[in-house]
Structure 1
């Protein structure tokens, strides 16, 4: 398993290098994702039969992203506290409208049964949706495919779209392309402090049962250290790129076992669903920008329906107030789980209680 994981990471590294040469946005995440997705869809090596990517290993790199986000927490975020009730109120309405719209897409265009469409249509809470959907009699194969494709399509379409809109690859703003000569020298003490903050934060968050513990714990700990000036935890560029690559490899492997017909159908519906949610999120962002004065781009990324870790990476890449973005995505997941449970009972789906 260790050798297989090492080989996959090497493939992800190669995919990231190619993406850098091609000037793609978010090269280390999207390049590694594409390389590993191509491997499991086209090559289908026997060595991957029964293999699953070590999620504890992935969690460690997600924790590094959490530390990085925490270092971005500044007094400016605290000054936005008075505007947050507006944006969080908008998030409540967004979750409901996104879920209902997605359910209509999957029912009318996909022909899914009611339970499968309902749980496949949630704009967050991936694992909770899959587990509750299984208990409600949803088709877990379709449900799992749609939920993972929601994240993958979002983190692929959003950077590409923003790159076209901004006229430059997403990632350059944060220096994440790792062009020759960017790599910072490794400081053993700094790396030890970063690793300690990631481990202690993640462990504490698990004990407190915080949502997205591998991200939120390190983020809160690093934020406290940054605001108090106790420790400087700024990550070197190569470490951020490595975290992106590991996340990309783990996402690419999610395509393993998907048949061509299922993939085509689910991917087409995912594009429609994500497109609807991005347009909806853009509209909410425009309204809330007029009310609060918070930048439209920051709010758009805050409402985009990707995973917490993946959207946080995009926010870091754009220097788009990643702490604000992460806060909204964590709350989006919490709101989705609550809304999911309430609506399931209202609609009379079995297993909802």
Structure 2
């Protein structure tokens, strides 16, 4: 990295941190990631001339923080959760149907209402697998700026609408807006940092060769799940460290949205609302059916089907006194199914011809 690139990255992280802190004061869902994303995207658009030509946010730097988030999610997997999985067979099966219905409906929205080209519509409509959708969409010739915008709008709308809706329904804040966190350590407790780092490193080393979907995140996640579920160690970090990770990830993602103009964003937001409305309706329908089959409350099932950020949905689950790892397991399964679908269709069908 050049000196200019390093200084630009540090400046973007600082801007992202300020945006995250502002969002935290406003009690928004997933404040440090969303606040950082919005602040960085605005800065990249308004002050584009200040960013060196050809600058790209360093992915190896970002990888460190993605791995930490993966470890902290995987750490929620416990023996008690594994005991619950057989009883959730019906909901796991329903997610298979959910992915197909949601993706098909979204494609129709983006293709025929939005007028996007086939590849852009196809990859914009995936109900998960954000990084894979962007990477595969770019390779398939999709409009990468539009695709990135729609994917982030999906997450932003879901992790905003679901916690806000549940907060209104329950009469109290839920999710990160209620102060929930995946961390349990005190701000000055660094006793488990070495194990978190080691677990994340092992996850990265095994995730890429195994070609896991979103291996930067899921490799450490699965490694942490093994450590946590088998009792090999305790994986925990102070909450401020996790917030820093979210700021860096948000800043890197915000850079991808820099340069989009108001009309394109408004159009994308309208399509995003239609898309998210469709997916939440499908999820609610499945939740209503699964209440009797699984014995789980409808709000927990609804969160398990909401196609938003894994971390925020886990935090919402905490607010509902539900096992966050159980909700996370549904979302990981949704993401894996989506990536498998993308890989199959991308190989045998060619989305640009749909």
Deviates more, 1:219-228 or 1:340-349: 340-349
* Residue of structure 1 aligned with 2:234, choices 215, 224, 232: 232
Post-superposition Cα deviations, 1:299-343, rounded to whole Å, max 9, x if no partner, equal 32332223xxx3224413642533223332332233223434656
User: What is the TM-score when the length of structure 1 is the normalising length?
Assistant: 0.84
Deviates more, 1:85-94 or 1:333-342: 333-342
Counterpart position of 2:152: 148
Deviates more, 1:288-297 or 1:195-204: 288-297
SS of equivalent residue, structure 2 residue 235: coil
User: What is the TM-score when the length of structure 2 is the normalising length?
Assistant: 0.84
- Is 1:21 aligned to residue 25 of structure 2? yes
Counterpart position of 2:66: 62
Query: What is the 5 A alignment of 1:1-353?
Result: 1-47=5-51, 49-130=53-134, 132-133=136-137, 138-166=142-170, 167-168=172-173, 170-171=175-176, 175-176=180-181, 184-306=186-308, 310-316=309-315, 318-319=317-318, 320-340=322-342, 349=351
Contact kept, 8 Å, 1:173 with 1:318, in 2: the verdict is no
Deviates more, 1:319-328 or 1:127-136: 127-136
Report deviation, 1:97. 1.0
Contact kept, 8 Å, 1:184 with 1:238, in 2: the verdict is no
Deviates more, 1:246-255 or 1:157-166: 157-166
Report deviation, 1:252. 2.3
Contact kept, 8 Å, 2:124 with 2:147, in 1: the verdict is yes
Report deviation, 1:209. 2.2
Stretches of structure 2 that go unaligned for 5 or more consecutive residues are none
Report deviation, 1:32. 1.8
Give the 3 Å change call, closer, same or farther, for CA 23–119 of structure 1 in structure 2: closer
Contact kept, 8 Å, 1:39 with 1:45, in 2: the verdict is no
Report deviation, 1:124. 2.4
Aligned length: 346
SS of equivalent residue, structure 1 residue 233: coil
Post-superposition Cα deviations, 1:195-223, rounded to whole Å, max 9, x if no partner, equal 11211222222232222222223223323
Give the 3 Å change call, closer, same or farther, for CA 8–127 of structure 1 in structure 2: closer
CA-atom RMSD in angstroms:
3.1
Post-superposition Cα deviations, 1:57-88, rounded to whole Å, max 9, x if no partner, equal 22222221222223222222112222232112
In 1, the alpha carbon distance for the partners of 2:17 and 2:144 equals: 32
Report deviation, 1:108. 2.9
In 2, the alpha carbon distance for the partners of 1:242 and 1:135 equals: 31
In 1, the alpha carbon distance for the partners of 2:118 and 2:353 equals: 14
Post-superposition Cα deviations, 1:137-168, rounded to whole Å, max 9, x if no partner, equal 54444334323332333334334434444422
SS of equivalent residue, structure 1 residue 25: coil
In 2, the alpha carbon distance for the partners of 1:262 and 1:275 equals: 20
Post-superposition Cα deviations, 1:220-252, rounded to whole Å, max 9, x if no partner, equal 332333333332222211122222222222232
In 2, the alpha carbon distance for the partners of 1:185 and 1:131 equals: 36
Deviates more, 1:134-143 or 1:10-19: 134-143
Report deviation, 1:93. 0.8
Report deviation, 1:194. 1.5
Report deviation, 1:95. 0.9
